[in-house]
Amino acid sequence: MKTKILYPSDYFDIKSVDANYNNEYETACKFPEFDIILYNYDEFVSGGALKTYPNFFV
């Protein structure tokens, strides 16, 4: 089973990582034992659903 790492997505594009996490994200992507998941931070903290890309939690 792979370890899943969640990163907040860009405000305007859920398929891109938030620029503040870009270096960490790029490093984590080099390791095949990790599943990298982006999520919409702003919607989640405002009480909305946890929306992810790719959609792992359906």
Q: 8-55: per-residue pLDDT in tens?
A: 999 999 999 999 999 999 999 999 999 999 999 999 999 998 989 998
The verdict on residue 40 lying in a domain is: yes
The verdict on residue 31 lying in a domain is: yes
Domains in the chain, number: 1
Q: What is the pLDDT of residue 58?
A: 47
Q: What are phi and psi of 8, to 5 degrees?
A: -70, 140
Q: Is residue 1 very low, low, confident or very high in pLDDT (cuts 50, 70, 90)? A: confident
Q: What pTM, to 2 d.p., does this model score?
A: 0.86
Domain extent, residue 38, equals 3-53
Q: What is the pLDDT of residue 57?
A: 61
